[in-house]
Amino acid sequence: MSQAVVEVRRASGDDAAELARLLTAFNAEYDAAVPPQEVLEDRYRAMLSGPDFVALLAGTPAVGFATVALRPSVYHEGRVGLLEDLFVAPERRNEGIGAALVGELAAIALDEGWGQLEVQVDEPDVDAMRFYARHGFISRDETNGDRALLWWRTTGPI
């Protein structure tokens, strides 16, 4: 893997259209439903205006992005970040861009005092699991070795 040759920067509300474009491309790769571009832009703009959401962009024009939703937790002094999306355009993969995005998130987490950074990975996506393991994420409880699972219940439309 070569080193990332793109700059990673923190996104602002002005980047909502770029984030929406990348999220749409990410979901298209997996044939997953995604809200329309205008809806995504409005949501990104609103979330980026508050303290509970972080987005990073890699490159100009952007070829990758990462988003994190933050929440409080009684288990940690700082907030917990859920890495909701991490995407690098297929033609730019294996260049270290994903690693640069995760590295920048880790630096922000440390700087801002987050207690933990979490990520959800679909069971068949073994490449993603290997990627996150290489970058310090674990899938087993460190105290008892139990495998961590995430279940959810959708309560409304996307």
Domains of the chain, with CATH numbers? 8-134 (3.40.630.30)
Rounded to 10 deg, the angle between the 37-48 and 16-29 helix axes is 120
Retrieve residue 99's tokens: 């690693």
Q: Give strand pairing partners of 88.
A: 64
- Supply the DSSP string of 101-147, one letter for each residue: HHHHHHHHHHHHT-SEEEE---TT-HHHHHHHHHTT--SB-TTT-PB
- Asked if 27 and 33 touch (Cβ cutoff 8 Å), the reply is yes
Predicted pLDDT at 1 = 53
Q: What confidence score (pLDDT) does residue 3 get? A: 60
Contact 88, 58 (CB under 8 A): yes
Residue 128 phi, psi (nearest 5): -65, -40
How far CA 10 is from CA of 47, 65, 73, 121, in Å, comes to: 13, 10, 24, 23
In one-letter notation, the amino acid at residue 125 is D
Sequential pLDDT tens for the chain (158 residues)? 556 578 999 999 999 999 999 999 999 999 999 999 999 999 999 999 999 999 999 999 999 999 999 999 999 999 999 999 999 999 999 999 999 999 999 999 999 999 999 999 988 999 999 999 999 999 988 899 999 888 888 887 76
